[in-house]
């Protein structure tokens, strides 16, 4: 065995133990298999089915919506592409409570209220698309940029159109990047909690919501651990599919090409919709719902000495920075 493989093996063993040991000690003290007899198989199947369904639907829609912006970003360098690339912070840093607040207000507006979007699967998918489509844009655009221009030129010489080049030439080459994006987006959607609970309502429940409900209501650690184990198994199964995805070693210079004007228009609309949610959340944070006016009183109260006696905001910020 090579030294590199030995190091990799040791690191993986160490990381595995870092997960397994705490779970083992927790399971030893709190897990009781007898408690699992109370789990309803019908309810478990319904929750599991919905968890996978909303995760798959959200991932597929996120993928298709991100295709044109990703293609545009891959072959252009301007302010628009920089703004679109900047959206990658959303799935990692933008607070769920802000997204939930914005979409709850928007879906209650007259023009959208008639479509009955709020408290439905549609609301969950739309919010998940907002959160996760930037991930696909990052992976797909990076994958396209890695394809040497010589390959694209060879396909053009053979008479292939841009659509044929993308579907039959480029897409198979970037499948590893697409798969990584798919796994990451599906994981975020599958483990979704705040969006499902707030925009879907009580009639929808995922495994993550079920785990939280189980712990808050009955402190049933055995059931929570059992549901958590199901989550891990499903995510591992999706990751194992990556074995069938071949990695291609691409060498050469990336291509700069002229993209259709409609691609720029679509990408601009996409960018504006994404940033509008962020801007709306920021602006609405200054809005006093009781007086109907804009004011700074919420931020003033947030950092006030009186509020700090019950909620240590500044101390929490300092602890977050220190731990990070």
261-283 pLDDT, tens per residue?
A: 999 999 999 999 999 999 988 88
> Does one domain contain both 11 and 76?
no
Phi then psi for residue 294, to 5 deg, are: -85, 135
Same domain, 250 and 193: yes
pLDDT at 154: 82
162-182 pLDDT, tens digit per residue, is: 788 888 888 888 888 899 999
pLDDT in tens, 19-46: 787 777 878 877 888 778 778 788 889 9
CB-based contact 144:75 (threshold 8 Å): yes
Say yes or no: 73 and 21 in one domain: no
In this structure, what CATH number is given to the domain that contains residue 177?
1.10.3720.10
Residue 294 is classified by DSSP as E
**Start-to-end Cα distance in the chain:** 37
| Same domain? 228 vs 312 | no
Question: What pLDDT score was predicted for residue 289?
Answer: 67
251 and 298 housed in the same domain:
no
Q: Residue 252: pLDDT band by 50, 70, 90 thresholds?
A: low
Cross-strand partners of 288: 293
249/321 same-domain check: no
Are residues 305 and 200 part of one domain?
no
Question: In this predicted model, what pLDDT tens digit does every residue of 127-146 receive, in sequence order?
Answer: 999 999 999 999 999 988 88
Confidence of residue 18 (pLDDT cuts 50, 70, 90): confident
pLDDT score, position 25 = 81
Q: Tell me: do 191 and 55 sit in the same domain.
A: yes
Which residues constitute the domain of residue 69?
36-285
| Overall domain count for the chain | 3
Q: What is the pLDDT of residue 251?
A: 66
Q: What is the pLDDT of residue 153?
A: 78
Predicted pLDDT of residue 147: 84
Distance CA 298, CA 179 (A): 43
Q: What is the pTM assigned to this prediction?
A: 0.84
Residues 225 and 143 in one domain: yes
Q: Which is more confidently placed, 274 or 224?
A: 274
């Amino acid at each position: 065995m090579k030294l590199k493989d030995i190091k990799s093996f040791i690191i993986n063993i160490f990381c595995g133990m870092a997960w397994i040991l705490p779970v083992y000690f927790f399971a030893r003290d709190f897990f009781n298999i007898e408690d699992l007899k109370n789990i309803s198989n019908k309810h478990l199947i319904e929750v599991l089915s919905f968890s996978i369904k909303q995760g798959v639907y959200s991932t597929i829609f996120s993928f298709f919506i991100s295709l044109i912006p990703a293609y545009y970003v891959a072959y252009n360098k301007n302010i628009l592409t920089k703004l679109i690339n900047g959206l990658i912070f959303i799935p990692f840093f933008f607070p769920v409570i802000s997204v939930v607040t914005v979409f709850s207000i928007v879906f209650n507006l007259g023009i959208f209220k008639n479509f009955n979007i709020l408290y439905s699967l549609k609301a969950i998918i739309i919010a998940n698309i907002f959160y996760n489509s930037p991930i696909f844009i990052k992976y797909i655009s990076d994958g396209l940029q890695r394809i040497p221009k010589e390959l694209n030129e060879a396909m053009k010489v053979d008479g292939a159109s841009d659509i044929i080049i993308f579907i039959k030439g480029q897409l198979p080459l970037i499948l590893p990047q697409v798969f990584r994006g798919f796994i990451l987006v599906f994981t975020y959607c599958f483990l979704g909690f705040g969006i499902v609970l707030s925009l879907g309502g009580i009639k929808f429940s995922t495994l993550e919501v079920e785990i939280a409900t189980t712990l808050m209501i009955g402190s049933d650690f055995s059931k929570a651990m059992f549901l958590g184990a199901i989550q891990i198994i499903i995510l591992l199964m999706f990751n194992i599919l990556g074995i069938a995805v071949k990695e291609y070693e691409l060498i050469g210079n990336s291509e700069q090409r002229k993209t259709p004007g409609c691609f720029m228009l679509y990408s601009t609309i996409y960018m504006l919709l994404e940033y509008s949610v962020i801007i709306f959340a920021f602006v609405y944070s200054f809005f006093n719902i009781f007086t109907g006016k804009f004011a700074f009183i919420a931020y003033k109260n947030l950092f006030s000495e009186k509020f700090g006696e019950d909620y240590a905001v500044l101390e929490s910020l300092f602890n977050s920075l220190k731990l990070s």
